[in-house]
């Protein structure tokens, strides 16, 4: 019998915490090669690499803290996607998008190293408060032409990349362990003007802070901080428009 599941019945959770997901994707790829006999016939198929599985979703944060933001270290997590349970998952990318007068969106992507089980099933999301962070009420500290060379930011993207290095051993289907590699923050901003241009070593700046808030001044998600180096600047203008600038900031955490 066919099973039809609507988007509002597709429940997503991480470590037992339900996620207010706007969209989500679960994928699995097996790498197989055909065993070709003499004469060109394919006798069977065999695996040539480990199973590659991942889950990703875009979501809203409905509480003061975002528990997913704390998973950038070496700790694995478990979760479920529409009833399909997975474990041994590690966060590899965490992203926040902020624009004027629109809800602040969060994105997370996980690599799954211990497989998954069960079949799809329905669920739902509920929260005592659906008051969301909005770009119009986000607090910015030290984001100015004097400090970062940019005025009046019109969009901000915060990205954390976490490299993962699984250790596979003979006789085991799944990795013995997963080691954390490089962790790097990146903030990209578009706004008005670009100040003094960077040189070959970039440009230092005072620590900046970004706190997404609701129209009632409630925090949504952790305080975003960055104190690395400006590595990229761009100026652009088009007919009938104004001069716009963009900068890219990086901070190597690990």
pLDDT of residue 103: 93
**β-sheet bridge partners, residue 187:** 158, 249
CA distance 106 to 221: 9
Per-residue pLDDT of the chain (254 residues; tens, 9 = 90+): 446 667 666 788 899 888 888 888 888 877 777 677 776 677 766 766 677 788 999 999 988 889 999 888 788 899 988 888 888 899 999 999 999 989 999 999 999 888 777 666 666 666 555 789 999 999 999 988 888 888 889 999 999 999 988 887 887 777 888 888 889 999 999 988 777 777 777 788 889 999 999 999 999 999 999 988 988 888 888 888 777 888 999 999 88
The model carries a pTM of 0.85
- Cα torsion 83, 86, 91, 92 to 10°: value is -100
CA-based torsion, 236, 238, 243, 246: positive or negative: negative
Q: Find out whether 55 and 63 touch, Cβ atoms under 8 Å.
A: no
pLDDT of residue 102: 92
pLDDT of residue 1: 45
pLDDT of residue 128: 59
């Amino acid at each position: 019998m066919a099973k039809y599941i609507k988007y509002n019945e597709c429940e997503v959770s991480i470590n037992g915490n339900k996620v207010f997901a706007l969209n989500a994707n679960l994928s699995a790829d097996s790498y197989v090669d055909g065993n070709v006999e003499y004469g060109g016939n394919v006798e069977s198929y065999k695996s040539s690499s480990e199973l590659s599985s991942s889950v990703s979703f875009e979501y809203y944060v409905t509480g003061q803290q975002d528990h997913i933001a704390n998973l950038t270290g070496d700790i694995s997590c478990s979760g479920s996607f529409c009833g399909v349970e997975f474990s041994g998952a590690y966060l590899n990318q965490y992203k926040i998008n902020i624009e004027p007068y629109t809800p602040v969106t969060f994105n997370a992507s996980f690599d799954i190293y211990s497989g998954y089980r069960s079949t799809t099933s329905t669920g739902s999301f509920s929260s005592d408060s659906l008051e969301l962070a909005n770009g119009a009420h986000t607090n910015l500290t030290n984001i100015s032409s004097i400090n970062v060379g940019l005025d009046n930011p019109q969009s901000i993207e915060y990205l954390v990349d976490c490299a993962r290095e699984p250790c596979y051993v003979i006789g085991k289907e799944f990795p013995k362990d997963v080691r954390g590699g490089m962790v790097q923050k990146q903030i990209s901003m578009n706004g008005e003007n670009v100040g003094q241009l960077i040189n070959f070593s970039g440009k230092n700046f005072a620590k900046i802070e970004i706190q997404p808030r609701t129209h009632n001044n409630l925090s949504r998600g952790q305080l975003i901080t960055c104190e690395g180096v400006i590595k990229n600047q761009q100026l652009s203008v088009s007919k009938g428009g104004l001069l716009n600038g963009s900068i890219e900031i990086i901070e190597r955490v690990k």
